[in-house]
Amino acid sequence: MIQPHGDGVPLSVPEQSDDWVHQIVHGTPVPTFVIDANHRVTHWNPACEAVTGCPASAVIGTDRSWAPFYAKQRPVMADLIVDGILAEQVDTYYGGKCRRSVTVPGAWEAEDFFAHFPGGGKWLSFTAAPLTDCDGTVVGAIETLRDITAEKRAAQALRESEHRLAAIVEGSPVPMFVIDEDHKVTHWNKACEAIIGLSKEQMVGTSDQWRPFYPEARPVMADLVVASDTESKVATHYDGKYKPSELIDGAWEAIDHFPYCRGGARWLYFTAAPLRGLDGRVVGAVETLQDISAQKNYERQLEHQATHDSLTGLANRFLFEDRLTQALAQSRRTETLIGLLFIDLDHFKVINDTLGHAAGDKVVQTTAQRIAKAVRAGDTVARLGGDEFAILLVAPESENVVADIIGRLIVDVSAPIEVDGQELVVGCSIGAALSPRDGTSGQDLLMHADAAMYRAKESGRSTFQFFTREMNDQACERMTVERDLRRALENDEFELFFQPQVNLFTDTIIGAEGLLRWHHPTLGMVSPDRFIPVAEETGLVLPLGRWVIDQACRLGRDWTADGRRLRISVNLSARQFHDPGLVRQVQAAMARWGTDSLAFDLELTESTVMKDTAAAAAILSRLKDQGVRLSMDDFGTGYSSLGQLRAFPFDMIKIDRSFIMDLHSGHGAEAVVRAIIGLAESLNLAVIAEGVETERQRDFLRAEGCIEAQGFLYSKAVPAAEFGRLLNRSP
């Protein structure tokens, strides 16, 4: 029998061994107690007192006296051991919570919560082992306790925080998932399921289920975060599409296209942030996804609009120039050619003016499709404006290849186009420049291809022209013109010349056409054909035109001061015609300089008035109200119909120089001239022939009843003073 050790009582041998037990039990810092075969507590060490709050005096010698802190009416583990009861019985009391010790034979272990310890409730883990005598008879049991309250609380706290995390992830409307440090998915919420199309069941516990929606073999962003990858590694997988988060340390953001999401392809913006343990170590990552498909599609739409022509869907000038720059850089590296083609449709304006804009659009669209079909996939076709297209040929093998492509384009483009039941044949003129031969910068190539295209147009329609050095000189001159035109007016470099207009039967000067001359400081006399188009484009034609009108009226006043009747005409360009200040300006000049004997005449071409016929008719009638005469210039070259001509208040038709030039050349110009004269007569309009150079032409015109003419036969355009002298000599 093991007895508690009492003070001053001599020890027998068994007592001696009892004393050893006492010393061992009391010497161990592990809470330990011993019971004897009658379940009475024989030893209860200070550590046991400390953990339970129960003094040894309260329990030593008792059996069930600890019941007060052991609320559940069941034996302590040591009791069961002493009774040598079967495992099943242990289970009865410690159902599921106890296990056989793997280190001490015959011992059992369990853990439980003790709610009624004097020091407060505690979790204890306890191990009870049998004590046997030399025969192996169980004479008691020893039980050690371990306070596991802190561990239990920590585990509980962890469970709760995990539960909270799960609740946050699950309840979040933002698609998100979590992976652990082994890259396994631990959380995968409903929103994620909805967007990706893979269920929580499919994803949780796995690390390679991404493949279905992540076709490229690369880690998901969260994997990179868990691996604490460097920026260079992230860049390898998310080249150009990622950035470090500005808000969360160690987090990355990226945008990518996922073709296999639920409901089709999506653009996702995702952020992966590290999950850190208390020690700061990365133990997982949380990734949130945002479907930005709508925004991305809108952006792409805007980008497409900003870089493409809306009518044809072809690249616009902006994109074209960008591609050209890239292609040139590439061609420098690879030492290959670049071909640049400019295509302009022949007589497109006429189609637009006569058949309407819808027909014009159809022609442009059809042409765009044909051009796009005629070139290779890597080449770029752009619409630069109205009927102007450009093609960037990347690495053509030779100039001959470019020529072949051009030949094909001319044939393809000029195939008939059906518009409103009519078949139209629209030819084109093509200009080509090659790099490096004709220039190595985009600007040079564009300029040179443009110059070549203009040359092609000049040399007859439906043809092409490669750029030449001589064109370069012309292009340079055009740039000089553009630059110098701005200060030419201030510098008084313009002069208005006059070309007499005569009565073919009496040879009397009845009027004059004012024609501009520019005395350029270095280029010398520049003809209006070279600078008027530039002045039109830059808007400089407006101040210049004002000056011309004023000059013409002032000189006209001088020449008619003596009561002589005279008509002075000036040309009006389209831009001037549509200038809202025109009528007021003409009125002011006429009021300032006008005389009763002076007829002031404005010459307009067909194309100027045919653009917007209703508006043009209104402007023309306001001009007429000011007493201005109106002449239709270059008549016969455009496509105005008789009906349209009747709608405008013109006084005179000018037969274009080209018809007069072709008289007697076998081109049938006689019939055209005769028809125009007849038309003018029937409409009660005056008619004047321009460009009369020979007596034969004059005689023909006389015979056909044309009364007025101008041309080199009589005089070229001369300075005002000289015209004054001619006038004085005129009968």
Ligand X SMILES: Nc1nc2c(ncn2[C@@H]2O[C@@H]3COP(=O)(O)O[C@H]4[C@@H](O)[C@H](n5cnc6c(=O)[nH]c(N)nc65)O[C@@H]4COP(=O)(O)O[C@H]3[C@H]2O)c(=O)[nH]1
How many residues sit close enough to ligand X to count as binding (CB under 6 A)?
A: 24
Enumerate residues 650-679 that contact ligand X by CB under 6 A.
Answer: 657
Q: Does 709 participate in binding ligand X (rule CB under 6 A)?
A: no
The yes or no reply on residue 532 touching ligand X (CB under 6 A) is yes
- Which of 633, 645, 669, 720 touches ligand X (CB under 6 A)? 633
Q: How many residues does the chain have?
A: 731
Among the listed residues 279, 529, 562, 596, the single contact to ligand X using CB under 6 A:
529
Question: What residue type is assigned to position 560 of the chain?
Answer: T
Q: What is the distance between the alpha carbons of residues 486 and 535, in angstroms, rounded to a whole number?
A: 9
Task: Report the Cα 655 to chain-centroid distance in Å.
Answer: 52
β partners of residue 708: 503, 688
Question: What CA–CA distance (Å, rounded) separates 487 from 482?
Answer: 10
CB 345 → ligand X: shortest distance, Å?
23
Amino acid, single-letter form, for residue 299: E
Q: State which residue, 226 or 526, has the beta carbon closest to ligand X.
A: 526
Told to check if 717 binds ligand X by CB under 6 A, we report yes
Q: Is 446 in the site for ligand X (CB under 6 A)?
A: no
Identify whether the C-beta of residue 362 lies closer than 8 Å to the C-beta of residue 312. Answer: no
> CA 339, CA 435: separation in Å to the nearest integer?
6
Nearer residue to ligand X within complex by CB, 388 or 693: 693
Give me the least distance between CB of 668 and ligand X, in Å please. 20
Stretch that binds ligand X, among 317-325, 351-359, 474-482, 528-536 (CB under 6 A): 528-536
Q: Answer yes or no whether residue 641 interacts with ligand X by CB under 6 A.
A: no
Q: Which stretch binds ligand X (CB under 6 A): 264-272, 522-530, 578-586, 665-673?
A: 522-530
Q: Which is nearer to ligand X, 81 or 541 (CB)?
A: 541
Per-residue binding string, ligand X, 488-517, x by CB under 6 A, is -----------x---------------xx-
Spatial CA neighbour of 288 closest among 184, 180, 175, 200: 175
Q: 657-665: long-range contacts at Cβ-Cβ below 8 A with a sequence spacing of 24 or more?
A: 657/690, 657/691, 657/711, 658/691, 660/689, 660/690, 660/691, 660/692, 660/693, 660/697, 660/701, 660/711, 661/691, 661/693, 663/696, 663/697, 663/700, 664/696, 664/697, 664/700
Candidate segments 269-277, 293-301, 521-529, 556-564, binder of ligand X by CB under 6 A: 521-529
Judged by CB under 6 A, which stretch of 18-26, 524-532, 591-599, 668-676 contacts ligand X?
524-532
Residue 31 main-chain phi, psi, to 5 deg: -55, 120
* Nearest CA among 433, 456, 453, 454 for reference residue 443: 433
Q: Which is nearer to ligand X, 143 or 708 (CB)?
A: 708
Q: How far is CA 70 from CA 21, 77, 111, 121, 585, in A?
A: 25, 12, 13, 11, 115
Span 574-613, contacts to ligand X by CB under 6 A: 603
| Residue number, 52 or 576, with CB nearest to ligand X | 576
Q: Report the 10 Å Cβ neighbour count for 374.
A: 18
**Residue 702 CB-density burial (10 A; 0-12 exposed, 13-18 middle, 19+ buried):** middle
* Residue 627 Cβ vs ligand X, minimum distance, rounded to whole Å: 20
Query: Using the rule CB under 6 A, is 568 a contact of ligand X?
Result: no
Q: How far is the CB of 391 from ligand X (least distance, A)?
A: 32
Nearest approach, Cβ of residue 558 and ligand X (Å): 18
Distance, in Å, from the CA atom of 456 to the CA atom of 467, rounded to the nearest integer, reads: 10
- Binding-residue pattern over the window 689 to 708 for ligand X, x denoting contact by CB under 6 A: -xxxx---------------
User: Is there a cis peptide before residue 436, judged by omega within 30 degrees of 0?
Assistant: yes
CA nearest neighbour of 154 among 175, 185, 123, 199 = 123
Query: Interface with ligand X includes 528 (CB under 6 A)?
Result: yes
Lay out the site mask for ligand X across 358-397 (x = CB under 6 A, - = otherwise): ----------------------------------------
Residue ranges binding ligand X (CB under 6 A): 499, 515-516, 527-529, 532, 548, 570-573, 603, 633-634, 657, 690-693, 710-712, 717
